[in-house]
A and B are shown apart, each in its own frame.
Chain A
């Protein structure tokens, strides 16, 4: 269809029942209960924007870069559990969005990304702002669609939400050529969709659950390992009930923080590359391990050969909604495929009805307490220089442990994970899988839109924050009183740390020269900036910042340039092969 052939505005009665593709998009958003669409306009989506302008069912948030639109929608999904929605134009709009999409994909975040495309007749002609969106995004989406017929648009959007939010969640891209946005079709939004090729398993196999229960009850050295799947599956209450019922130790992955309350005594801390001694040692030495919505990835168990060889008799139970996550890196003994909440409900009720009770594991707890006594997260406080860990601890105190905390990627991310005790799910928003620098500020925006009355803090570094600093302008436009906690050590800290350990301490390109004056920068964007240089001023600055309820405050904490993240498992090593601060 040529542009000039596009149906014109309704002039006959018959065509008045027809909606344009752009109107269908807006109606579909309404039907899905979408609150916010994060986006950026451009040629291929102008028609959709025109319809957005005319409606009041959802609010459009104008970002300053498409990557931030996807990150903000992603954070909205992480914080609320509802799918995030982003809208970008064709070509560079899409390629800018790809980092955001890949970030969401790696962490299994339910999202629908609507992308504009050049008109169908121009596809393949190297048209202005054309790119093969479906081809470019294919490896980093759960699924994607190119809609060539406006008659299929409504059902395709329904499918996109269905696929994004069910099974193992993930981002779904719907690519809409401009002529499809303009063409008209009757609007019918299906209440449900059936797809013969997509039927996720929800209910776990009860025989397997029974086996798991018996294995758990006969354990001498049990360990409960909980990942992001428990949060995505809204199963924190079930996880907490199970852990308390059994009286066993529990660890959360970086993505699982908050699934089990961090301040509880059965919690042994985060595990993995920067996990606690007690979590990693218990993981390595347990005799029965139950993995709940976790995937044994390289940053969590380190070298799988070491993990297995060091403890070949360990029995593993693995609950996951995605069968391909099971026995991928580590062979398991009792696989249970299903929705975590449903599986844990079954497991808990089987446990309640079982005659056998959990065995006495006092000896195991004694061992764990010995590991815990190492106090591996202690750090040397200073009177003269700000320790980054101290800032995070004070943030936790000032916000009473109840803020939405986003982070970027690097040392500050690990300190945030280690020192902010997350007691609730969906409070810790970070890029675990892809490790995308630059997510922190747009993540904080997504949280603030979702929960305008909650405290939202973005813990960041001077490297990461500059990867999406332009969003300070978005924050100004929408009056988002985020608190940016910049742990400024004038280094790409994690890079420098690896260089110190593994590259002869040669700081190749890890020093950030010519940093801006962040206070002035924040002020230039219309926000409040504060520079904090003394440990004694940290708490006061935080209190002042959070007291400014209606202002974004950018706190530039000048922190110790030499501080490193401990414990640390070097890449490729086993998780019990940790380097501790006290070893150095």
Chain B
């Protein structure tokens, strides 16, 4: 099953490779991993999307928690949560495709953030499913490049992941 793990870790050189190295060393899957500093500059927030049975996810959580740089790990699937992923897509946009792509982008609430005579760069935010759906809705032959951030997420309501 797919799980979304949210980590707070010390914003130290090498902290990312400790986490990534643990996953490869123990043979765990990483579907996506995203990390950036938080409002507290000493901490980074990492979101890892992984898959595994409940036993495997329990082991992953325990093993990650054991890393000295990891302050906290939470499995967002244990409660209600929201998640988003950002995708930028560069599309070949000429002739009749230009309007059609714009219309499709509007339907998905995507935005054109760069354009030339021949191309669009479209920004789209949502769950991974929604991003996949957008790519399926357009002519794949027009896709020049895609880049996706991987998911990040937060618990709903009062559920807060804090350092202490």
Which of A's residues lie within 8 Å of B, judged by CB?
134-135, 138-139, 142-143, 146, 163, 195-198, 322-324, 327-328, 331
Contacts and interface: CB of A to CB of B under 8 A. Distances in A.
Contacts of A323: 62, 65-66
Contacts of A139: 21, 25
12 contacts: A138-B18, A143-B68, A146-B14, A163-B68, A195-B68, A197-B9, A197-B10, A197-B69, A197-B71, A323-B66, A324-B66, A327-B58
Contacts of A142: 68
Contact of B68 (A134, A135, A197): A197
B55 interface: yes
Interface in B1-21: 9-10, 13-14, 17-18, 21
B92 to A, nearest CB: 40
A322 B62 CA distance: 9
B160 to A, nearest CB: 16
Nearest to B22: A139
Interface residues of B, number: 21
Interface of B: 9-10, 13-14, 17-18, 21, 25, 55, 58-59, 62-63, 65-66, 68-71, 163-164
Contact of B62 (A135, A143, A324, A331): A324
Contacts of B25: 139
User: Closest 4 CB pairs between A and B?
Assistant: A324-B62, A143-B68, A197-B71, A198-B68
A567 to B, nearest CB: 31
Contacts of A135: 17
B71 A324 contact: no
Contacts of A328: 59
A329 B70 CA distance: 24
Contacts of A196: 71, 163-164
Contacts of B18: 138
A143 B71 CA distance: 14
B125 to A, nearest CB: 31
B66 A322 contact: yes
Contacts of A198: 68
A146 B17 CA distance: 14
Nearest to A322: B66
A145 to B, nearest CB: 9
Contacts of A324: 59, 62-63, 65-66
A511 to B, nearest CB: 35
Contacts of A163: 68
Contacts of B164: 196
A327 B10 CA distance: 28
Nearest to B25: A139
Contacts of B13: 146
Given A196-B71, A197-B69, 19 more contacts: A134-B14, A135-B17, A138-B14, A138-B18, A138-B21, A139-B21, A139-B25, A146-B14, A195-B68, A322-B66, A323-B62, A323-B65, A324-B59, A324-B62, A324-B63, A324-B66, A327-B55, A327-B58, A327-B59
A324 B73 CA distance: 14
Contacts of B65: 323-324
Nearest to A197: B71
Nearest to B8: A197
Contacts of A146: 13-14
Nearest to B9: A197
B109 to A, nearest CB: 39
A143 B69 CA distance: 9
A195 B69 CA distance: 9
B66 to A, nearest CB: 5
Nearest to A323: B62
Contacts of A195: 68
A197 B70 contact: yes
A58 B161 CA distance: 46
A156 to B, nearest CB: 12
A323 B60 CA distance: 11
Contacts of B68: 142-143, 163, 195, 197-198
Contacts of B69: 143, 197
A139 B10 CA distance: 18
A481 B96 CA distance: 90
A139 B59 CA distance: 17
A328 B59 CA distance: 7
Contacts of A322: 66
Nearest to A328: B59
Nearest to B164: A196
Contacts of A143: 68-69
Nearest to B59: A328
A199 to B, nearest CB: 10
Contacts of A197: 9-10, 68-71
Contacts of B17: 135, 138
